[in-house]
Amino acid sequence: MHLSAPGIVVAVLPHGEHGAVVRALTPEDGVRAGYVRGGRSRRLRPVLMPGNAILGEWRARTDEQLAALTVELVHSRAPLHAEPLPAAAIAWAAALTAATLPEAQPYPRLYVGLGGVLDAIEAAPAAKGWAGSLARYELLLLAELGFGLDLERCAATGQSDDLAFVSPKSGGAVSRGAAFGYEARLFALPAFLREGGAATWDDVLSALAITGHFLARDVLVDRRADTLAARERLIDRLKRAVA
């Protein structure tokens, strides 16, 4: 096996005394793991950080063998790891990607989406500027893994007008009229989650409540549930930023 591809680092685990097993999301080959010799060295530690864009070269004798990986840094987001909110967001986005995507399965839309989230975190002066894109990435990931939410029409009436809520059971949108009397049992549906555009803090937190519910119920189960701790830390920091 020989693969040369750009990638986004999503996980780094120590291996042996000096090496590291690195997992990176590539555009056409999905998540790929490889052993980086000297990956824990002073020279490579800043390169092998979650969120960094790399050019990787994976080599192995068979597809089943852990590949040897050499990396070249394309774009560093290391400075963001020194800022609490961006660091928490990168940690969560990377951990979510690493924990949920099967090895070597292509997810080109998620590669683009993750890159967009990281670019937004890097460019926005405050969390309000990127938190909405993180919620939309979670929504995209749910869809790509087969757990997409139907936010285009009302689950009760089939109509697409005045959609204001989401059912926590079906994942379908619910119109304001159909939800009358049951609003407390439903998630509020912020418009930006369907249409894009600007979002208030209330919108962002509502969107993250929706995606968090379905990630925990349908995707991050069994051993992968531990990954949610990174999300809880991020949500806590976001709520403190709002207060």
Domain count, the chain: 2
Instruction: Identify whether residues 116 and 215 lie together within a single domain.
Output: yes
Burial of 202 (0-12, 13-18, 19+ CB in 10 A): exposed
Instruction: Identify whether residues 43 and 98 lie together within a single domain.
Output: no
Instruction: Identify whether residues 140 and 55 lie together within a single domain.
Output: no
Q: Which of 19, 50, 76 is the last residue of a domain?
A: 76
Q: Which of 13, 44, 76 is the last residue of a domain?
A: 76
| Whole-angstrom distance, CA of residue 80 vs CA of residue 86 | 6
| Whole-angstrom distance, CA of residue 178 vs CA of residue 194 | 19
Instruction: Identify whether residues 100 and 59 lie together within a single domain.
Output: no
- Residue 85: what are its φ and ψ, rounded to 5°? -70, -50
Host domain of residue 159 = 79-242
Question: pTM value?
Answer: 0.94
The pLDDT of residue 162: 94
Q: Which of 27, 46, 76 is the last residue of a domain?
A: 76
Instruction: Identify whether residues 72 and 85 lie together within a single domain.
Output: no
Largest CA distance in the chain: 62
What is the residue-level pLDDT of the chain in tens, covering all 243 positions? 899 999 999 999 999 889 999 999 999 999 999 999 999 999 999 999 999 999 999 999 987 889 999 999 999 999 999 999 999 999 999 999 999 999 999 999 999 999 999 999 999 878 989 999 999 999 999 999 999 999 999 999 999 999 999 999 999 999 999 999 999 999 999 999 988 888 899 999 999 999 999 999 999 998 788 899 999 999 999 998 887
